[in-house]
Chain A
């Protein structure tokens, strides 16, 4: 899709005024974090499992070339094929070639963020092949021609009424007066419709939560069972995965599974966790005749060894979205591309460039909640800061921000001058504030438009600290010259 990330500010403003969206986000903010906390509390080993999951992925990334070679050999040994693709266009072409060879006119698809990233649906459609999303949320947004607004709950931004309106508008062969304004009726309608699509598809396209080097398997995690009907019924199964999805062994995959669902939905285990290994075997009564893995780079190998290397540990659970104050305020569409939230703000500029996605790393309060819940312990705030530093170094950002930051940077390296001026400033502002508040301040209009800013009262923190009672250890440290 064409990114709208450059319009983040306008997108965010629109999102804040969107009532159904705000209602949905309110519900999300209550549900997901609470369920994750409960699931984590139910497993005393959860924190240690997070450490191990992180270490597994670190080890994989240090040996990624080796694991990819071993994984490929294992897939081929069992009758599958691996298609290495450098770019989104290469991956689209590889998928189309396989579909054409199979004479496909209909492709069922289970939810895949890589599928979104390479915009495979539009491409198949342009080439006369019908792509059908089968995850209920993805199906809804496919009908509405929208990108996902959350990596695991793609239609989270919609109300029941909006979904019902979409079905009434798009399922034109059904009675327009049917009663579908309740969740069960909508589910039944989608289930019935998609059942026919599952049975008629020529190719099944799935993503992969992991690729296992030991066995050449791909792992699929769903709650609906749609992935299993997607790979299990057609003649051809295509797996589309980015190359950092590799894990070494079944045991390593298991450790990651133990943190994945708990972090994502607060389930101990998602309903269906599937390991697919090659095509149909002799005498099998079901299963695909062909098994293909489309392995995508699309900018990831450039992250290896860079300051964004650790982002490649991400398992796409969505925990950082669910706990992010910005995501919970504006939702996923404001970010303007297929990923969102803190992981999106770090990843998107890597994939589509800082020029297009430069706003996103600034859409963060750096509160650190994302890192504290990330099952893979990815230092998201640190990486958001790296993007900000790069932007500043590249001379991006507005005049005011640049001047202010430049001035501040100059001052902060001269502590005596800094404290002197701060003291003056604080005293002056303290005098100027009316009743301890500012209703308006130059350069702070964005804040004072909607609320008052508290005026400083008395001295600076450091000045007060020095006046305070002696003997406190941290005070001693500061007096001895330690600087934060």
Chain B
């Protein structure tokens, strides 16, 4: 296999007319600088307008949204959603203290990873991108990413302060977090989610809920994260 590696790299250098061991390496510079390219204007709005744009864009791709003042209101918002869709009062939640510490009252909750039997999951977003109404989900022990895909209904809780204009700001936030914690920039899995699952593979007819959730509900919390 390492032979294949050498052959492949040699052929590339040959094609480019370059020799191995050239000391200048613009690739390293570009990666270290990780400069931003053009960011569309609509990703550069002031914070309050970003939240409004995020909601507009998310709803345009068939997600639903709700706005609540405090984290303590999350169980009520989830309860409203379950009643509206006539779903059993039972949800699988991401095992993060922000969710497990809430008073869930009449809703039966279990924390853990996603399982085939889960009907509704509730998870917490790392961020949101207003430009396209996209949720950014970062995997971790407190945020198993199977919760994003196995249930039919996915409810995502996000702090308004975590909604930013563009993806670039999210990457910077990952880098900043990694620098402080001394970890890798990227979590094992980052899922950018823009609306519920869909397919148009049968006669180009759009249908929601292909393999992932058929409904995506986003609960935006005004209270800044602790």
**B100 in contact (CB, < 8 A):** no
The complex places the Cα of A199 from the Cα of B13 at a distance, in Å, of 44
User: For chain B residues 65-112, which have a beta carbon within 8 Å of chain A?
Assistant: 95, 112
Task: Tell me which residues from 17 to 33 in chain B have a Cβ below 8 Å from any Cβ of chain A.
Answer: 17-18, 25-28, 30-31
By beta carbon, the residue of chain B nearest A156 is B204
Q: Which partner residue on chain B sits nearest A278 by CB separation?
A: B188
Residues of chain A contacted by B199 (CB below 8 angstroms): 136-137, 187, 223-224
Check A280 against B196 for contact (C-beta < 8 Å). Answer: no
Residues of B within 8 A of A68 (CB): 8-9, 12
How far is B145's CA from A278's CA once the two chains are assembled, in angstroms? 14
B52 adjacent to chain A (CB < 8 Å): no
Residues of A within 8 A of B41 (CB): 44-45
| Contact between chains at B144 and A254 (CB < 8 Å) | no
Question: Cβ of A24: which chain B residues have Cβ within 8 Å of it?
Answer: 203-204
Q: Is the CB of A183 within 8 A of B12?
A: no
User: With A163-B202, A271-B197 in contact, do A86 and B8 touch (Cβ < 8 Å)?
Assistant: yes
Q: Are B188 and A251 in contact (CB under 8 A)?
A: no
* A243 at the binding interface (Cβ < 8 Å): yes
Q: Are B201 and A274 in contact (CB under 8 A)?
A: no
A78-B184, A160-B202, A224-B211 as given contacts; A285 in contact with B8, CB under 8 Å: no
Q: Is the CB of B12 within 8 A of A134?
A: no
Give the chain A neighbours of B30 by CB distance below 8 A: 59, 248-249
Given contacts A43-B40, A286-B146, whether A27 and B203 have CB atoms under 8 Å apart is yes
B127 within 8 A of A: no
What does the 1/0 interface line of B173-199 toward A look like (CB < 8 Å)?
010000000001111111111111111
Q: Are A305 and B189 in contact (CB under 8 A)?
A: no
**What is the minimal beta-carbon distance from A46 to any residue of chain B, in angstroms?**
9
Which residues of the other chain, A, contact B116 by a CB distance below 8 angstroms?
A: 195, 199
* Given known A-B contacts A66-B27, A275-B186, A84 and B5 have beta carbons under 8 A apart: yes
Q: How far is the CB of A291 from chain B (nearest CB, A)?
A: 9
- Count how many chain B residues have C-beta atoms less than 8 Å from C-beta atoms of the other chain: 80
Residues of A within 8 A of B112 (CB): 285
Question: Does B132 contact A268, Cβ atoms closer than 8 Å?
Answer: yes
Q: CB-CB < 8 A to A273: which residues of B?
A: 134, 191-192, 194
- With A and B bound together, what is the CA distance between A332 and B2 in angstroms? 37
Q: Are B38 and A70 in contact (CB under 8 A)?
A: no
Instruction: Determine the chain B residues whose CB is within 8 A of the CB of A306 once the complex forms.
Output: 15
Within the complex, what minimum Cβ distance (angstroms) separates A190 from chain B? 8
B-facing mask of A42-62, CB < 8 A → 1, else 0? Answer: 011100110010001001001
- A258 at interface, CB cutoff 8 A: yes
Q: Which residue of A lies closest to B18 (CB)?
A: A65
Within B100-156, the residues touching A (CB, 8 Å) are 112-114, 116, 131-132, 134, 139-141, 144-146, 148-150
Closest to A291 in B: B188
Report A263-291 CB contacts with B as 1/0, cut-off 8 Å. 00101111111111111110111110000
Task: Find A66's partner among B5, B25, B168, B174 (CB 8 Å cutoff).
Answer: B25
Q: Is A191 an interface position by the 8 A CB rule?
A: yes
Q: Does B200 contact A (CB under 8 A)?
A: yes
Task: Find B186's partner among A265, A277, A284 (CB 8 Å cutoff).
Answer: A277
**Inter-subunit contact A226/B1 (CB<8 Å):** no
**A:113-141 near B, CB below 8 Å:** 134-137, 140
Q: How far is A243 from B12 in the complex, measured between Cα atoms in Å?
A: 11
Contact of A271 among B16, B150, B194 (CB under 8 A): B194
> Using Cβ atoms and an 8 Å threshold, which residues of chain A touch B150?
229
Instruction: List chain B residues, Cβ under 8 A from A67.
Output: 27
> Within the complex, which residue of A276, A286, A304 is in contact with B144, where a contact is CB–CB below 8 Å?
A286
Mostly helix, strand, loop or mixed at chain A's interface? mixed
Q: Answer whether A183 and B203 are a contact pair too, CB < 8 Å, given A63-B27, A255-B37.
A: yes
User: Would you call B113 and A286 a contact (CB within 8 A)?
Assistant: yes
Contacts of A284 in B (CB 8 A): 139-141, 144, 188
A310 within 8 A of B: no
Bound-complex Cα distance A252 to B168 (A): 10
In the bound complex, CA of A92 to CA of B85 (Å): 47
Interface-centre pick from B12, B148, B201 (highest chain A CB count, 10 A): B201
- In angstroms, Cα B17 to Cα A255, docked, is 29
What separation, in Å, do the CA atoms of A304 and B1 have in the docked complex?
A: 21
Q: Which of A11-19, A212-220, A385-393, A463-471 touches B? A: A212-220
B interface vs A, CB < 8 Å? 1-2, 4-5, 7-9, 11-18, 25-28, 30-31, 34-38, 40-42, 57, 61, 95, 112-114, 116, 131-132, 134, 139-141, 144-146, 148-150, 167-168, 171, 174, 184-205, 207, 209-213
Q: A52-B37, A271-B193 are in contact. List 15 more A-B contacts (CB 8 A).
A: A45-B38, A63-B27, A66-B26, A84-B8, A156-B204, A213-B31, A226-B210, A232-B146, A251-B34, A268-B61, A268-B132, A269-B192, A280-B188, A286-B139, A301-B8
Return 23 A-B CB contacts under 8 Å, by A number.
A45-B41, A48-B38, A56-B37, A66-B26, A84-B1, A86-B7, A154-B201, A186-B202, A214-B31, A224-B210, A225-B213, A249-B31, A250-B34, A254-B168, A271-B195, A271-B212, A272-B193, A277-B186, A281-B187, A281-B188, A283-B141, A285-B113, A297-B8
Interface of A toward B, CB cutoff 8 Å: 24, 27-28, 31, 43-45, 48-49, 52, 56, 59, 62-70, 78, 83-86, 90, 94, 134-137, 140, 153-156, 158-160, 163, 183-184, 186-187, 191, 194-195, 198-199, 213-215, 217, 223-226, 228-229, 232-233, 243, 248-252, 254-255, 257-258, 265, 267-281, 283-287, 297, 301-306, 309
